[in-house]
Amino acid sequence: MGMKRKRQLSSVIFHTGACILGFFMIYPLLWLLASSFKSNETMFTNTYSLLPEVWDAAKNYASGFAGIGGVAFSTFFMNSMVVTVVGTITCVLSSLLAAYTFSRLKFRFSNFWFGCVMMTMMIPAQVMVVPQYIILKKIHLIDTRVALILPWCFGGAFFIFLMVQFFQGIPKELDEAAEIDGCGKIQTLVRVLIPIVRPAIITSSIFAFYWIWQDFFQPLIFMSSSTKYTIPLALNMYLDPNSYNNYGGLFAMSVVSLIPIVVFFIIFQRYLVDGIAMDGIKG
């Protein structure tokens, strides 16, 4: 009985501590949600409180959806959605093809080129913006949505590395068996390998979706027309140091901007822990 009580006490202490720690971790999100319900005048009178003194949710969300500078928030939302969806698909697809090439096909200096790709992970994204801007300007794509999508169309070093590790865990006898059955390289990839590396593909999609959705720096450099702004850049427009700051609309639209990320993560979160490629070929 003594050992049982000790285990129960240990379990209670552990779960209590985990709940307290979890509350502090999600407190910023709770504060953001609560602030979207507060009036603009009382929002910062009691900063730590999650309970609004004056409820003004309808006004905040209405002013937020009305947009800024004559542009509705729905325009910013659609810009972000188009750029993020197309960018994620092209990024993951090109990373998949590159990873398949490096891991399953033999060509001269393959290890050297793979090392070059891995070294690009050490280059800050801000440094890459300068040559990207020069190239996009020369081909007259600045201030277009294509300018925000094109840099993602050639894959990402992190995603290539992740998928290469999955491919290397798959026996090459599967490729040989598929070749005997008459499959070409692309057919082998689509019919045999992609179902096995699906966890890596979905994990890469989650990260790519999040990174593109929340990207602020590239739209800031590449875009000049407010009608083509994405959400991160548009939210900055709700704050004007020379006039009235619409904090209510800002926090309300910040909550709305989190919805696609949360939904996307909830749908595919189980694949984040499916990290063993060999699970797909058991038996």
Distance CA 140, CA 131 (A): 14
pLDDT tens by residue, 72-87:
999 999 999 999 999 9
CA distance to 128, 129, 209, 282, per residue, from 124 (Å): 7, 9, 19, 40
Could you read off the pLDDT of 216-248 as tens digits, one per residue?
A: 999 999 998 889 999 999 988 887 666 567 888
CA distance 53 to 51: 6
Tokens of 50: 């999650």
* Residue 191 CA to its chain's centroid (Å): 27
d(CA 20, CA 22): 5
- What pLDDT score was predicted for residue 277? 39
All structural domains of the chain: 2-59 (no CATH), 66-281 (1.10.3720.10)
Distance, in Å, from the CA atom of 270 to the CA atom of 59, rounded to the nearest integer, reads 38
pTM of the model: 0.85
For 90-129, the pLDDT digits (tens) are 999 999 999 999 988 888 888 899 999 999 888 888 888 8
What is the share, in percent, of the chain residues with pLDDT greater than 90? 38
3-state secondary structure string, the chain?
A: CHHHHHHHHHHHHHHHHHHHHHHHHHHHHHHHHHHCCECCCCCCCCCCCCCCCCECHHHHHHHHHHCECCECHHHHHHHHHHHHHHHHHHHHHHHHHHHHHHHHCCCCCHHHHHHHHHHHHHCCHHHHHHHHHHHHHHCCCCCCHHHHHHHHCCCCHHHHHHHHHHHHCCCCHHHHHHHHCCCCHHHHHHHHHHHHCHHHHHHHHHHHHHHHHCCCHHHHHHCCCHHHCCHHHHHHHHCCCCCCCCHHHHHHHHHHHHHHHHHHHHHHHHHHHCCCHHHHHCC
Residue 199, CA distances (Å) to 169, 205, 269, 275 in order: 13, 10, 10, 7
Q: Binning pLDDT at 50, 70 and 90, where does residue 282 land?
A: very low
In whole angstroms, what is the distance from residue 175 CA to residue 125 CA? 36
Summarize the confidence of residues 39-59 as an average pLDDT. 82
